[in-house]
Amino acid sequence: MSGSQQTGGPNLPSDDEPDLILQTDAHKPAKRIPVHEWIRRKLAWIGRLVRRQARFFLVVLGAGWGVIFESFRSHAWRRTVRYEFVTTMNNIIGGGVSASLFAGMLTGVAAVSQVIYWLGLTGLAKMTGSILVNVVIREIAPILVGILLLGRNGMLSATELGLLTIGGQVRSMQSVGMDPFLMLVLPRTLAFTVAGFTLGILFSMSSLITGYVMSRISGVITNPIWTFLDDVAAAMSVTDYAVIPLKFIMVGFVVGLGGCLTGLTATNEDSLRTLLPRGFSRGMLIVMMVSVLFSLDL
């Protein structure tokens, strides 16, 4: 033995391998990578990452336009598409009602009743309606409903379609003229859209009513519920009447579309281990993006 030991593979680091050469022999200095080469590799890595992420973003944009465009064409709504739409919508709304109501109740206890209490204590009770509208209904509700949709059904769609793609069933469908975009992506995305709006409204009502009940029980407010709801409605601007439903609709749309596309763009190298984390992180990102975009502009 010459006294030198080298760990790791051959002395030719690839793009993906760390540029690390361990040598204990003082007579053989480690082969150093020039700084410009190191920078080039890091930039290439960042470039690959950006390209991969941007590709999905562009696919979502294109497919989103496709869903909207096709949904207005009467002959896109064949029996199979209608069946998939109704089935998915029943699954999402039927299965998600109790979860949304419960999450709304928790938000009512944790946020609404606290807002009422602290504003009352500081003598700012007149602002209760506008703060509830701006914080709970406009900001918190779409995000929580989006997360519920993503966790309950978005991941399911990503997994189902991913397994169909990897297993070859999607290609089998194509070979007999059944377009997976028309059969699966269009109806599911629209079902998520309707469900997003429905569950969002249920969530908001549930949180407001629970918050009122908690405050009434603790004696913080004495108004009847109609007066409380009237205060909240009066605090809503004309823009809120458009933005809040639009936010629920958009959240449902992007969660459905993102889940379906994550599944359909799966490759043979994918498995549940890769699909699920990817679907979840993408879903969270697009829910947050929708929330932020609406908050920035309006």
Nearer to other proteins, 176 or 217 (CB): 176
62 binds other proteins (CB under 8 A): no
Size of the site for other proteins (CB under 8 A): 20
Q: Any idea what DSSP says for residue 6? A: B
CB of 143 to other proteins, least distance (A): 28
Judged by DSSP in three states, 23 sits in: strand
Based on CB atoms, which residue is closest to other proteins, 177 or 219? 177
Inter-residue contact 251 to 283 (CB < 8 Å): no
Q: CA 94: distance to chain centroid?
A: 20
**Cβ-based neighbours of 231, under 8 Å, separated by 6 or more:** 128, 129, 223
Least gap, CB of 274 to other proteins (angstroms): 20
Report how far residue 235's alpha carbon sits from residue 229's, in angstroms, rounded to the nearest whole number. Answer: 10
Q: Which of 175/222 has CB closer to other proteins?
A: 175
- 19, 139, 179, 240: which one contacts other proteins (CB under 8 A)? 179
In contact, 92 and 152? CB cutoff 8 Å: yes
Site for other proteins in 181-210 (CB under 8 A): 183
Quick check: 169 binds other proteins (CB under 8 A)?
Answer: yes
Only one of the segments 169-177, 239-247, 253-261, 287-295 lies at the binding site for other proteins (rule: CB under 8 A); that segment is 169-177
Binding segment (CB under 8 A) for other proteins, from list 21-29, 73-81, 142-150, 241-249: 73-81
The correct pick among 4, 11, 24, 172 for binding other proteins (CB under 8 A) is 172
* CB distance 203 to 156 below 8 Å: no
Contact between 158 and 276 under an 8 Å Cβ cutoff? The reply is: yes
In contact, 117 and 215? CB cutoff 8 Å: yes
Q: Which residues bind other proteins (CB under 8 A)?
A: 78-80, 83, 160, 163-164, 167-169, 171-179, 183
